[in-house]
């Protein structure tokens, strides 16, 4: 058994040299992780709306079919929105990747175990739903393959990345969601985005 | 992305659904999030037949609230078509458009309303307007068919001009209540 992957290193690897990638993060640790990798105008870290991260990614991917969209979320957040795997799978957005950082625990609420720690196979569920690609990652070689797929192949892609259930200092993004929205839209759509309806 | 299988627009006389589709089209609505719903069936078919609109079939209504947040982030406008029974599913997810000042238009056909037969539909139907207003969604009601396009037009303007979630409740008088007793007589 190789040493476990660490969430901050995984996210830093996925967001390194990101180009014009659009990134959505589920609430809690994934939001801190993408911020730790470097706060970015094209990051949309969530502060709530648990279970909605993958669907925000889908709406964004449909609106911006020429841009790569990466959703980074946790196992608990994904478990709350499992139906969205079916919703995404039937639309087959080629530009959408959903990466679940799976520490098998609800880290923000007292480290209660999630269902993945009891054997629930999220990547298997995504594959069965019909994702073009569904993979499990547990080591640096797998992480390298995941990065290449996120940037270089057609999706929809789902990855379940097993990570160390470590507790880390929070790295907080701005928390005014209206600001995060404007920042993102201006970076993506240009300054006129605040005038257009 | 595979385009939704093209289907012919439904035949028949112009109804509130045709007028609403024209309003959505004129407002450049691009993502149409739907759950199956008898009351919206004609509007859903019209949107499916519209090449400018992408249909997103949801497994549960709150997916649509999140989807349309992402659509707005990406520069597209959308609409969520649903039944009142799904409003309860959406309440916490509505914190997203409320916190972000995302525009969101929900067109909600009512159950548990005028002429309801099914007791299970009444609690959520009774609570629909109250819970939407409690979390901060602006609610418009259309209880007669001629009012529906006017209220949808109003809802579109309010949602997209002022960046907030708006629900138009389409009363059960508009589409009629399902008559379960009659349906027991229909052979399969």
DSSP string spanning B40-96? THHHHHHHHT-TT-EEEE-SSHHHHHHHHHHHHHTT-EEEEEEEGGGHHHHTGGGHH
CA distance B151 to A185: 29
Q: Contact at 8 Å (CB) between A30 and A101? A: yes
Which chain A residue shows the shortest CA-CA distance from B161? A197
Q: Indicate the pLDDT class of residue B3, thresholds 50, 70 and 90.
A: very low
Instruction: Determine what percent of chain B is predicted with pLDDT higher than 90.
Output: 82
pLDDT of residue B4: 46
Q: Does B68 touch chain A (CB under 8 A)?
A: yes
Mark yes or no for CB contact B74/A58 under 8 Å. Answer: no
Per the structure block, which two tokens stand in for A155? 């999706």
Measured between beta carbons, which residues in chain B are less than 8 angstroms from residue A51? 62, 66, 93
Q: What is the ipTM of this complex?
A: 0.97
Mean pLDDT of chain A: 96
CA distance B110 to B140: 12
Residues A77-120 have pLDDT tens digits of 999 999 999 999 999 999 999 999 999 999 888 899 999 999 99
Per the structure block, which two tokens stand in for A108? 């923000």
Measured between beta carbons, which residues in chain B are less than 8 angstroms from residue A52? 62-63, 65-66, 69, 93, 96
């Amino acid at each position: 058994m190789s040493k476990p992957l660490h969430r901050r290193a995984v996210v830093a690897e996925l967001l390194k040299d990101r180009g014009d990638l659009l990134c959505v993060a589920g609430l809690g640790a994934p939001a801190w992780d993408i911020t730790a990798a470097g706060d970015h105008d094209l990051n949309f870290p969530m502060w709530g709306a648990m279970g909605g991260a993958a669907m925000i990614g889908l709406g964004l991917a449909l609106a911006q079919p020429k841009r790569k969209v990466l959703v980074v979320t946790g196992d608990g957040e994904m478990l709350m929105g499992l139906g969205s795997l079916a919703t995404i799978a039937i639309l087959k957005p080629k530009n959408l990747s959903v990466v679940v950082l799976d520490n098998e625990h609800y880290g923000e609420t007292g480290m209660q175990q999630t269902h993945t720690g009891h054997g629930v196979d999220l990547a298997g569920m995504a594959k069965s739903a019909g994702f073009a690609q569904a993979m499990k990652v547990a080591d640096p070689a797998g992480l390298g393959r995941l990065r290449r797929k996120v940037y270089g192949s057609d999706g929809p892609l789902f990855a379940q990345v097993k990570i160390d259930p470590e507790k880390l200092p929070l790295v907080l993004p701005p928390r005014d969601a209206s600001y995060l929205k404007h920042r993102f839209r201006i970076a993506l759509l240009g300054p006129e985005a605040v005038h257009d309806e | 992305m595979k385009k939704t299988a093209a289907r012919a627009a439904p035949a028949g006389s112009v109804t509130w659904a045709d007028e609403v589709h024209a309003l959505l089209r004129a407002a450049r609505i691009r993502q149409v999030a739907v759950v199956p719903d008898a009351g919206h069936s004609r509007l859903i078919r019209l949107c499916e037949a519209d090449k400018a609109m992408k249909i997103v079939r949801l497994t549960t209504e709150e997916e649509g609230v999140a989807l349309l947040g992402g659509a707005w982030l990406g520069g597209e406008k959308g609409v969520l078509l649903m039944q009142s029974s799904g409003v309860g599913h959406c309440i916490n997810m509505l914190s997203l458009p409320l916190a972000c000042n995302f525009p969101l238009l929900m067109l909600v056909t009512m159950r548990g309303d005028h002429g309801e037969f099914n007791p299970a539909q009444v609690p959520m139907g009774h609570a629909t307007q109250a819970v939407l207003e409690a979390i901060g969604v602006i609610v418009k009601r259309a209880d007669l068919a001629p009012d529906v396009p006017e209220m949808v037009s109003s809802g579109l303007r309010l949602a997209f001009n002022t960046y907030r979630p708006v629900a138009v409740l389409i009363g059960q008088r508009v589409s009629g209540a399902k008559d379960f007793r009659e349906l027991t007589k229909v052979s399969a």
